[in-house]
Amino acid sequence: MEYFDQAESLGSKSRERITQYLQEIGDDDAADRFGRKTTGGQGLAGRVFGNDQYAYTGIVLGYIAEGAGGGSVPIANASTMDANQSLKGSRIKITLDKFYVESYPGLGTHSILCEFAGKNQIVGNPEEMRFALTTEVNDKSSAAISGAPVFLGVSVGQDGIAFEGRLINVRSSTDELLIDALGTDTLRSGLSLLTVAQPALKPFVGLASNAVKAVLSRSKNRQIYSFRLGLDFGKGSTSAGLQHGSYVVVQADTAMWDWSNVAWNSDSSSVILKSSGESIPFNYMVFGVTEFSGP
């Protein structure tokens, strides 16, 4: 089941619609850049965007081994690694450990809503997982997020796990109450899932989902990016193996990516270019996958 439609992401829209949106939110310089481009829609995906990295729609997935040492740590191509078969039937915790913004639409500080969804593979009665949080961040900086629990106690099925995410640019001031609600400790604490279905969770899941729908209904708010992360036990060239560790989701064009050119700097907790030591010029998120030790 797919929760989020990539076609709704800003970079999937035509050049004219991207330009119109940028004008609506007062980002005239970016609107002028897109207004001069000669291709639109999916044709944008192969371009180098410079100041407008939010226009990419692709995903590049890397993996940082659990317990990797200090300093510069290699990042592997997640689709080339073997899965840990012993994780079948186990329970894991998924956390959002890093969210770096190279560029987002609009001027000044960006309000970004992050929504995640998936299924907890309970035998006979899969439980929907849904969680949302909000953050504020400037271009070329990291959000104040570290180890934020997204899903707790997820049961790993025989085919692994899968979850989706999307990022929404919030520019409408009328959504302050909804954004504040999604930022409360209750909603930021994540969904703790037991090994049996819990009907009491359903209103909680629905609250997050309905709040996000309300935010998206405003004309100045827009889905910027969505991704689907499948971690399994197969050996397919398009899937990623499930292991404990960290997964790096980069919003970029897969055709222009080479993991050998970048590394994880454990001192600054950032993905850097090996050539310069500077942060990569792309938007990216880092998710931790660890053992769940709760009840």
Per-residue pLDDT tens, the chain, 295 aa: give them. 578 999 999 999 998 999 999 999 999 999 998 877 544 444 444 456 778 999 999 999 999 999 877 788 999 999 888 899 999 989 999 999 999 999 999 999 998 988 888 877 665 666 778 888 888 899 999 999 888 888 888 888 888 888 999 999 987 655 555 555 555 544 444 444 433 334 344 444 445 566 677 777 666 889 999 999 989 887 665 579 999 999 999 999 887 789 999 999 999 999 999 999 999 999 999 999 999 887 6
pLDDT at 40: 42
pLDDT at 239: 73
pLDDT at 238: 59
Three-state SS for the chain is CCCCCHHHCHHHCCHHHHHHHHHHCCCHHHHHHHHCCCCCHHHHHHCCCCCCHHHCCCEEEEEEECCCCCCEEECEEHHHCCCCHHHCCCEEEEEEEEEEECCCCCCCCEEEEEEEEEEECCCCCCEEEEEEEEEEECCCEECCCCCEEEEEEEECECCEEEEEEEEEEECCHHHHHHHHHHCCHHHHCCEECCCCCCCCHHHHHHHHHHHHHHHHCCCCCEEEEEEEEEEECCCCCCCEECCCEEEEEEECCHHHCCHHHEEEECCCCEEEECCCCCECCCCEEEEEEEECCCC
pLDDT at 123: 58
